[in-house]
Amino acid sequence: MKAGVVGIGRALPDKVVTNADFEARGLDTTDDWIVRRTGIRERHHLEPEDQAGALATEAAREALADAGLGADELDHIIVTTITPDWITPGLAPRVADDLGVGAGAVDLNGACAGFVYALDHASALIEAGRASAVLVVSCDILSRITDFEDRSTAVLFGDGAGAAILTGGEFARGVAAAELGSDYQVDQLNAPIGGFLGMNGRSVYTNAVDRMAQATRAVLEREGLTVDDLDLFVAHQANQRILDATAAQLGVPAEKLVSNVDRVANTSSASIPLALRDAESDGRLEPGMLVGLAAFGAGYVWGATVIGWKEDRA
Ligand code: ACO
């Protein structure tokens, strides 16, 4: 028995904030600087009165519809987030309630690597026979922990939610066990309780590139694959330079590198499912493709896996 991804969904807040909006607000920055250094052109921001839980549920509903699955068929829900609506309860019980089910529901804080960790946990539950259908939602509202007076971070982040449905079956590839790792570097990247995200940008940059590349190489080797076997590579959408440098280190050609960072900026754990969903709707991602995923975030924590996209269930 393997676990496979059979549905994907997304939700973005309506409000779009462009680089020009930051200039207009008086932040000492320019569209040219932001685009050259990060590739980001715009991001979505949730209104302060709106709830992350509602956004997470919207993404979950789209993923369920995409999978052709009823919410009552879910037996486990994992929501990854660093920005829940409450310190407790988490977002997952709220999503379960919105969907009208009482399935097991738990939040996971894996920072920007949360989606890869949750895929791994969900797959393990399915492979062990403890669940047959698992919903993973990755939802982050980074505007809540962004200092909009600090130009070095204000322009980098956005809000969004992405969701995936995993079920069990005899898939050709399924979801490979992830290569995961951690290295406690709280001084380099953190958000204190009640405070803003801060980081040493250079350290984050080099660690993100090296760790994502190392983990990808490791999972490919374990699976008996090479980079050439991948149809697409979807890494955490921190910024375009990190994506390009990671792809270059691995030898992934530009046409296989997925990026939507220009439209959504860095949405933390939501970034990979949002990129997968966009790649599918852009016609770049098709059933049966082999996709490499890699993520890196605060901790540091990181992970990489390989998935067969929406494979036929034998
Ligand atoms: N507009 C204009 N100038 C700016 C801005 C801005 N928005 N932000 C910083 N600058 C200035 C700095 O003040 C500095 O000026 P100075 O030379 O007069 O001191 C100059 O630009 C260069 O700053 P650096 O920080 O050296 O710029 P760098 O080329 O390293 O790019 C960046 C900064 C984009 C943050 C880069 O370090 C990076 O990509 N780091 C990765 C961090 C990241 O993406 N983190 C996301 C969270 S973690 C994660 O998702 C894994």
The binding-site residues of ligand 1, defined as CB within 6 angstroms of any ligand atom, are: 29, 33-34, 37-38, 112, 151-152, 155-156, 189, 199, 201-202, 204-205, 208, 236, 238-239, 241-242, 266, 296-297
pLDDT of residue 313: 81
Least Cα distance to 132 among 63, 69, 62, 56 occurs for 69
Region 179-308: CATH code = 3.40.47.10
Cβ neighbours, 10 Å, residue 71: 18
Evaluate whether 2-169 and 179-308 have a shared fold: yes
In the sheet that holds 290-297, the strands lie side by side as 179-182, 301-308, 290-297, 232-235
Locate the domains of the chain by residue range.
2-169, 179-308
* List 19, 112, 121, 207, catalytic entry: 112
pLDDT of residue 50: 98
- Tens digit of pLDDT at every position of the chain (314 positions): 999 999 999 999 999 999 999 999 999 999 999 999 999 999 999 999 999 999 999 999 999 999 999 999 999 999 999 999 999 999 999 999 999 999 999 999 999 999 999 999 999 999 999 999 999 999 999 999 999 999 999 999 999 999 999 999 999 999 999 999 999 999 999 999 999 999 999 999 999 999 999 999 999 999 999 999 999 999 999 999 999 999 999 999 999 999 999 999 999 999 999 999 999 999 999 999 999 999 999 999 999 999 999 999 86
Residue nearest to atom 47 of ligand 1 (CA): 238
Q: Does domain 2-169 bear CATH number 3.40.640.10? A: no
What's the CA gap between 240 and 258, in Å, rounded? 10
Q: Is 35 exposed, middle or buried (0-12, 13-18, 19+ CB in 10 A)?
A: middle
Q: Can you list the alpha helix ranges (DSSP code H) found in the chain?
A: 19-24, 31-38, 52-67, 91-99, 114-127, 151-154, 201-222, 240-250, 261-264, 271-281
